[in-house]
Amino acid sequence: MFNNFFYFLGRRGARFFYHFYKVYGYLWAAFLQLRYLHFYRRQVVEQMYRIGIGSIPLIVGLSLFTGMATSIQTAYQISGFVPKYVVGSIVLQSELLELAPTLMALVLAGRVGAGIASEIGTMKVSEQVDALESMGVDPVGYLVMPRLVAGITMFPIVIIFAIVIAVSGGYYVANTMMGVTSADFVKGMKEAFRFKDVWVGLIKATIYGGIITLIGSYMGMETEQGAKGVGIAATATVVSASSFILIMDYILTRSLLKFY
Amino acid sequence: MIEFKEVHKSFDEKKVLRGINLVVNQSELVSILGPSGCGKSVTLKHIIGILKADDGEVWVDGKNVGALGRNELQELRKHFGVLFQSAALFDSMTVKENVAFSLRMHRKMSEAEIDKRVAECLEMVELSGSEALEPDELSGGMRKRVGLARAIAMRPDYILYDEPTTGLDPKTALVIGDLIVRLQKQLKITSIVVTHDVQLALDISDRIALFHDGKVAAEGTPAEVSRGDGKLIKKFMEGEL
C-alpha cells in the first residue's frame, strides 16, 4: 500500500516537473520571439484589446462588490474598538495589496486563461496550428507571444481600474450605510497610503497576467483528442493558473513586503 | 526535387514508417496511395519539417530538412502550399483574410495588390466573389477550394494535398480532382497528393507510390501500378490491405 502511495506521489511529481519544464520551454521560445514584436504587432494589439479592454467591464462590476463587502466587514469588525477612519485605511490597503490583484486574477484565470486554452486548443485539434507552421509562421510567435505580452502589459491596467472602483464602492457603502463620514474615510486613506503598496499590487498583477496567459497558451498548444481535449485544456488552465496565483501570492507578498 | 532516403518514424511503440524511399521530380504530380493509418500524412509532414524522421533523411531542393534550423525551415516552408485534410481554415477570419494570410505575413504588398492576388486565387478555384464569407458559411467542397486558394496564394513551388477528397461527395471529389490537375498544369508546380481514393490517384497522377506496411510497396505510372503490380492495387481496392 505504501509502495503504491509513493509510486503515485512519484508519478505526480514527475508529471509536475515535466509540465513545468515544458511551460518554461514555451516561455523561453516566446521570449526569443520578442525580436519579431514589430512583425506580430497586429496580433499583440488585438490581444491587448481582447485581454485588457475586454476584461474591464467584468472586473469593474466585480471589484465594486468586493470593495463594498470589504468596507462593510471592516466597519463591522472594528466597531467600538478603533476610530472609524481606519475603514478607509483598511479598504485601500486591502484592495491595493491583495484583493484587487489576487481576487481579480482568479476571475481572469477563468475568463482569459480558459478562453486562450480553448481558442488555441481548437486551432490545434483542427490543424490550424499545423497550417500556420506550414506557411512559415511560428505558432509561438503568432499565438503565444502576443498573448503573453498582452497579459503582462494589460493586467496591471485592468487592476488599476479594479482598485479605483473597489475603493469607490467601499467609500460609498462606508459613507451611506456604516456611518463613516467622507472626511474620515479620506483621512484613513491618506494615512495608510504608501506609494510602494501601489507597486506591490502592480507587480503582482503583472506576474499573474504572465502566469494566466502562459499556462492558457501552453495548455492550448498541447491539446490533443478533439473536443474532449479542448475541454480538458480549459479546465486544467483554470485549476493550474488559480493554484499558481495563490502560491505566488504568498511568495510575492512575503518577498515584496519584506524587501520594501 | 523531393527525396526520401530510408525514412523511419515511430510514435511511442508504433512503427509508422519503416524505411520510405521515394523521389518526386520537378513539375511532377505524385500520389501517395494507401489505406488509412499507413503513414501517408506523416510522410507529408516530414517534407515541411512539422515531423522529424527518427532515422533516414528527407531532402528538398538539395537541403536536408531534418538538419535545418528554425529560421531555415520557415524559409523553406514559404515554397510550399499545403491543403490539409480538414482544410484547416482559420475560423476567426473571412475567406479573403484566409487567402491573404501568408501574403500579409511574408510579402510587402499593398492592400490593392493583396486584393488582386486574392481575387486571382479565388478565381482559379472557381470561388470568385466569396471573399467576405466566413468559413462556417462554406460547404465541405468550398472549404477545400478556399484551402487550395490559400495554398497557392504565395505562388509556391510545391503543393502538398492531404486527402483532398475525403468527406466529399463523388461529384465534388471529381471537381477537386480536376482542379488539382488544372492548377498543376497552369502553375507548373510539383504536387504530392496523399489519398486513399484509388480512382483519384489513377486519374490525376503522373506517378503513384503505393504505401503498405510503412514502406513503398509499388511505384510507377498509373498504368504501370495497376498493370505491373496489379495484385497490390486490387487487394487495396478490395479492402484487403
What ipTM describes this predicted complex? 0.84
A16 assigned to some structural domain: no
Length of chain A: 260
**CB nearest A137 (choices: B50, B105, B160):** B105
**Using one digit for the tens of pLDDT, what is the confidence trace for A83-132?**
888 999 999 999 999 999 999 999 999 999 999 999 999 999 999 999 99
Q: How far apart are CA B48 and CA A22, in angstroms?
A: 23
Q: How far apart are CA A93 and CA B165, in angstroms?
A: 64
B28 assigned to some structural domain: no
Grouping H, G, I as helix, E, B as strand and the rest as coil, residue A131 is helix
Beta bridge partners of B160: B82, B192
Distance to chain A for B69, nearest Cα, Å: 13
Q: Which of A58-67, A77-86, A156-165 has the lowest mean pLDDT?
A: A77-86
Distance to chain B for A134, nearest Cα, Å: 6
Number of domains in chain A: 1
Query: Would you say A206 and A156 are in contact if contact means Cβ atoms under 8 Å apart?
Result: yes
* pLDDT value of residue A114: 96
Provide the H-helix boundaries in A138-181. 139, 145-176
* pLDDT value of residue A6: 80
pTM over 0.90: no
Range of the domain at A162: 21-259
Cβ separation A128–B88 shorter than 8 A:
yes
Grid coordinates 506576474 are at which residue?
Answer: A207
Q: How far apart are CA A135 and CA A166, in angstroms?
A: 47
Tally of helices (H runs) and strands (E runs) in chain B: 9, 10
What is the Rg, in whole angstroms, of the alpha carbon atoms belonging to chain A? Answer: 21
**Using one digit for the tens of pLDDT, what is the confidence trace for B63-85?**
999 899 888 888 899 999 999 98
Distance to chain A for B98, nearest Cα, Å: 11
Higher pLDDT, B146 or B38: B146
Chain B interface, mutation test: which of A134, A140, A230, most B Cβ atoms within 10 Å? A134
HEC readout, B80-99 = EEEECCCCCCCCCCCHHHHH
Range of the domain at B122: 89-155
Between the ranges A225-229, B158-162, B180-184, where is the mean pLDDT highest? B158-162
Number of domains in chain B: 1
Residues of B with CB under 8 A from a CB of A: 45, 48, 50, 70, 74-78, 80, 82, 84-86, 88-91, 101-102, 105-106, 154, 160
B214 assigned to some structural domain: no
Cβ separation B77–A130 shorter than 8 A:
no
A3 assigned to some structural domain: no
B134 assigned to some structural domain: yes
A6 assigned to some structural domain: no
B96 assigned to some structural domain: yes
Higher pLDDT, B223 or A221: A221
Q: Is the pLDDT of residue B231 over 80?
A: no
A2 assigned to some structural domain: no
Residues 6+ apart with CB under 8 A from A24: none
A4 assigned to some structural domain: no
Q: Where are the beta strands (DSSP E) in A50-145?
A: none
